[in-house]
Amino acid sequence: MRYYSTRSRSNPVSFAGAALTGLAPDGGLFIPGEIPSYPEKVKNSLGTMDYFDVAVETIRPYVHPELPGSVLEDLVHSAYSFAAPLVPVGDRLVLELFHGPTAAFKDFGARFMARAFSYLRRGEDKPLRILVATSGDTGGAVADGFYGVEGIFVTVLYPKGRVTPLQEKQIAALGGNIEALAVEGSFDDCQALVKAAFGNEGLRKRLDLSSANSINVARLIPQAIYYSAAAGKAFAGKTDPDGEATPRVSGAYGTSKSTVACGVKAGSPITFCVPSGNFGNLTAGLYALKMGAPIRGFIAATNSNKTVPDYLESGEYHARVSQATISNAMDVGAPSNFERMAAHWTLEQLRSMIRGVHVSDDDTRKTISAVHGDCGYFLDPHGAVGWRAVDILSAGNVPVTGPLAVLATAHPAKFAETVEPLIGSIPVPASIKTALSRNPQSRTIPAELSALADTL
């Protein structure tokens, strides 16, 4: 597989080149030269394959030949000791992506990336410096995934005062090869600093730089796995039992005061509602669809940072300054992965696959309360944005048909400050209990490249 910049089809690179470089030299994002298709045998077996096998078959064509078959299998086994259960909640499904070590969907990409980088950098003497901007969950997942990896140092930039106390503990309390910088500004400022560092010739000469945001294709590709696995399962008429971290009131499995538990009819492609900020997660879903997973389409659910829903409606793209909300991991006014989406597909093609909806903080809070009351299920603010987006569409002229899954991108215990005043105590998984015992240590810097350069 060859990779190109979103801004030029010249100078293609290998998977290793795209992953270890992070950002293309012209400032664009790397994209695969083509989105491969699953072999028919795999496509027809997605509903019966286990997660490990779906992962290998999904990643393989993107990383060949740099990651040989046996190496890829070892990496996948090491990265994924957890799964992504597709569970019924009320009249719909929830794809739970918080069963990993930092209780957020970013674990799926970050853990594979760390292991891939370690293999691809074997034998190198000069250390690799990874820069990552985070609005919350990415930083914790990258810190955990790369912690202790020899020859790699990670600098995480996060907006000071705009992440939860738990997120800060996950980002800034590990030490070792993980450094945390609290930036005086927004997530967009953090992201701009990372891009500026990559564009600075002096820094790039002195340091081997790479990224671990979803601007890095090595983190994006593994996220396609859980879409394909869940779509195959639903197409086969199957769901999963609750996992250890499933935040459901005891005895409330699949029940609702206002609706009956959803039934999944075999043979129908699924719609995914994706809480969206930087749009890497949704881009990975589009890759899964194009590979041949049985997916009907997507709902892009945003908070008040509705740059992409507005684009889908008007046809004009206008990046904005991000606004702070209670679903803070989605507080992105200039989503990086929009550039990938626009490089792969036209406006009309995107409209045929995605419907955009934005949700207010007030509606997010009401949804957390309503789903808990009706279904006995705890949603975090991001999942609540997704749930409410489905409600909005269902009340409109073009309702959602067939099976539908809302992505639960983080465990609600990560947002206890918002959720518990609404619905009471949340069951806390073991991974979060461990993180809560840590003490964060970070440095504060202004949102200026010179300050970041001095630190590096």
Q: What is the H or E stretch that residue 152 is in?
A: strand 152-159
**Strand duo 92-96 + 404-408: pairing:** parallel
Measure the CA angle with vertex 286, ends 212 and 189; round to 5°: 35
Active site includes 233?
A: no
Residue indicated by tokens 């190198």: 124
Helices 137-146 + 106-120 axis angle, to 10: 40
Q: Could you identify the residue written with the tokens 């240590």?
A: 441
Token pair of 348, please?
Answer: 């009309």
Alpha helices in 121-216 (DSSP H): 137-146, 165-172, 187-198, 201-206
3-state secondary structure of 392: helix
- Choosing from 41, 43, 106, 126, the catalytic residue is 106
**Structure tokens, 149:** 């990896």
Q: Are 338 and 214 in contact (CB under 8 A)?
A: no
Look-up of token digits 């992409």: 308
Amino acid letter, 122 = R
The Cα 283–Cα 292 span in angstroms is 15
Q: Which residues are catalytic?
A: 106
